[in-house]
Each structure stands twice: as structure tokens, then as C-alpha cells.
Amino acid sequence: MKSDKHEKRRKKRTATIVTHAGREPFEHFGFINPPIYRGSTVLFPTVADLEGLRQPYTYGTKGTPTTRALEKAWSEIAGADDAVIVPSGLAAIALALLTATKAGAHLLVTDSAYGPTRFFCDGLLARFGVTTQYYDPGIGAGVSALIRPETTAILLESPGSQSMEVQDVPAIATAAREKGVCVILDNTWATPLFFPPHERGADLAIEAGTKYLSGHADLLLGLVSANARWAKRLRHTFNLFAIGAGPDDASLALRGLRTMALRLREQERAALAIAQWLAARPEVARVLHPALPDHPGHHIWKRDYLGSSGVFSIILKPAPKEAAEAFVDGLELFGIGYSWGGYESLVLPFDCAPYRTATKWLPEGPALRFSIGLEDVADLKEDLEAGFERLRRKS
């Protein structure tokens, strides 16, 4: 049962919650931040204590006060009954799927899912007889027609981490609940600060803490939170796998947590400014940003989301490959790389066509994903302007 203190905090506003969640200074001699507890072995006072597991920590793989502080904080922020932390975002995806499915089951996964999610489903899960069916991310309540008697879970990612389709999570969750199917949501783009996952219908919510929770591009971490129905099973699966994150990583995540709300709002502001500027560029065919009114899923975003973070994509007008590469290669402030959510801006060329199976990816020209960091917007625009000049020279 949640404590009175927990319930009291839940009534606070977001900035207050991220500042105080998971902190218990007087359990640690008054120190504001939870100390880093490193260790595998935990001692018991007596044999009776050992046999009865009469203490909160029993072995390093089950957690430490440091990792538990992050679990408690994330549960509070996500509106969950429990949360666990693992060494990466992909580990969080794998843990959530293994919590909710079984050998011989049928799994529904959005066609816009993160590439490694597909590799895990089509690779490891397939070896255990799990059949994965990919569905159109715009299907909404129509997903009900795809649910079979052996379907155990539906995995959503909203918006898609490259193509930016916004899914109708509440409608899909309602359809799944009617048939007893677990709803798993990869909520990394929005975080619980911009999309409260369990309030919107998710049973299990995934977060790559590597990104906005870290904020500094120096941490690999994943989190899975669960509602009351799935919390016990999630914890049991987590304990069986013993894949907890280390205390140093948990400490870095707790530090990042305290400024996450501020960073998200600033990166949202900057990303919107850049996206609107790019939308007016003659070299750009489309900007894929859920907060822009002409985005196909804007009406769902406006209804369900509290913000739009700093990641979006663009489709350039038709251009030779060497022209698009010249645009990207010469950028000074945008690093070329995977991930997002750090203080630095990134750009990533991508092509969804080779792996889409339920939908067609037919962009007008080269596609680029941007993660906007904390640089000055005017400097970012100047860098992109120089990139467009290179693009024009090569076209």
C-alpha cells in the first residue's frame, strides 16, 4: 500500500515531485541525496532473519537503498504501483515483454517501433514460439480485430521514435482491457512528465533513462513501471532475471531527475522553434512534429499530451544522397549519432522502408531525425542554414 507521504506528494505539481521524489534524507544521516550503496553481500543479524528475509535488502541483485530510491521516485512520477530499473532501454523493453508474454503466445507490436524492439521480437521471442504481428500505428480501437485468443500483449510506441506517428493509447488500452491483454507502452519520447502512462491506460510503461532522465549522454539505463494489476508479476520477473542496474548509474539518474522538468521544457521550446523554422524552408517537404497543427496525429497529441519534448523528424525534398550527406556531415553543432535527450543536439539520417511490414514508408526525399539540445536556437539555425547551402550546391 502506498504511504500517506506518497499520496500527499502525488497531489503536488510536477516540478515539486521531481525535486523531492525518492529522497529520504533522515534515513541517511540527513544527507540530501541518497548515498551510493555498492555491494553484493548483505548480512543478516540472525539465522531467523535470514530464513524469514526480515529486512528490506537481502542481496545486491535485488537492489540497494540507492536503486530503491530511484524505483520509488519513478513510481511516484509515473503514477505507478512499482518500478524496476535495468541496465538499458532495450533491457527494459525485453523485461516488459517477458513479463507479459509466454511461449507460444501472440504479440501485437506497432509497425513504428524502435528497431531493436523488432529485432528482439523477431529474434529471441521467435525462438520460444512467440508470434509477433505488426500493426498500423494509426489503427486505434481497430486493434481489437487483431487480438486473438492467444494474444498476451500489445506493445505501443508513441510517437514512433523516427516516423513520429502518434497512437491513440487510451483507445487501444480500452480494446486490450476488454480482452484481458496487457498494454505495454514505450514512453521514452514524452516521459511521464508529458504523458502519464498509467493514467492513460498502460499496464507496463518503458522508459530509456539513457535519454531525458540522464540528460548528459553519459548513462545507460532503463525503467519499467507497472500498475496494480501487473506490479507483482513485473517484480517477480525482474528478480528471476537479476538484471538490475548498478548503484552508480542509479545515482546519476537521480541527479538527472532533479532537473529533468526544466530541461524538457527548454528542449521542447527550442525544438518547436527549430521545427517551425524548418517547416518554412524551401528544401523541406515535411516536418514530423506532433505539436505542429499539420501533423497527422496532432489532434491526439493535443488531447492526451502535456508537452512535446525535443525530438522530431523532417523529410527533405528529393535530393541526391551525396547532397543529403553533405548537409549532415558539415554540421558543427549537431552530432551524428543514435539516442536523444542529452544536452547536445543530434541528427540521424534514417529509412524505415526496409523493415516496415504493416505500413508503407514512402517519404518524398531523405529523412532526418533531430534531437534538440540546450544550445542557443539562433546558433542552431545558423548551423542548419549552412547545411542547406551545402545541400543546394550538391543538388
Each residue of 13-60: pLDDT tens digit? 888 888 888 888 888 878 888 899 999 999 999 999 999 988 999 999
| Closest by CA position to 298, among listed 318, 272, 261 | 272
Q: Assign domain 4-257 to a CATH class.
A: alpha beta
Question: Residue 109 — φ and ψ, nearest 5°?
Answer: -135, 135
pLDDT of residue 9: 43
| The CATH fold of domain 261-394 | Aspartate Aminotransferase, domain 1 (3.90.1150)
The three three-digit cell numbers of residue 113, written as one number: 517501433
**Domain ranges in the chain?**
4-257, 261-394
**What's the confidence (pLDDT) of residue 108?**
98
pTM as predicted: 0.93
Tens of pLDDT, residues 176-227: 999 999 999 999 999 999 999 999 999 999 999 999 999 999 999 999 999 9
| Residue 115 grid coordinates | 528497431
Which 3-state string (H, E, C) describes the chain?
A: CCCHHHHHHHCCCHHHHHHHCCCCHHHCCCCCCCCCCCCCECCCCCHHHHHHCCCCCCEHHHCCHHHHHHHHHHHHHHCCCEEEEECCHHHHHHHHHHHHCCCCCEEEEECCCCHHHHHHHHHHHHHCCCEEEEECCCCHHHHHHHCCCCEEEEEEECCCCCCCCCCCHHHHHHHHHHCCCEEEEECCCCHHHHCCCCCCCCCEEEEECCCCCCCCCCCCCEEEEECCCCHHHHHHHHHHHCCCCCHHHHHHHHHHHHHHHHHHHHHHHHHHHHHHHHHCCCCEEEEECCCCCCCCCHHHHHHHCCCCCCEEEEEECCCCHHHHHHHHHCCCCEEECCCCCCCCEEEEEECCCCCCCCCCCCCCCCEEEEECCCCCHHHHHHHHHHHHHHHHHHC
Single out the residue of 150, 149, 153, 139 nearest to residue 109, CA to CA: 153
Predicted pLDDT at 1 = 37
- The pLDDT score that the predictor gives to residue 11 is 67
- Give me the pLDDT at residue 284, please: 98
d(CA 189, CA 194): 9
Q: Rounded distance, CA 254 to CA 98, Å?
A: 26
Q: Which residues pair with 346 in a beta bridge?
A: 335, 371
By DSSP bridging, strand 334-336 and strand 345-350 are parallel
Burial tier of 222 (Cβ tally within 10 Å: 0-12, 13-18, 19+): buried
pLDDT score at 255: 96
Say how far apart CA 239 and CA 72 lie, in whole Å: 17
Cβ partners under 8 Å of residue 176, min gap 6: 143, 147, 154, 182, 183
Low-confidence residues in the chain, pLDDT < 50? 1-10
What pLDDT is stored for residue 22 in this prediction?
84
How far apart CA 201 and CA 179 sit, in angstroms, is: 14
pLDDT in the model for residue 28 = 84
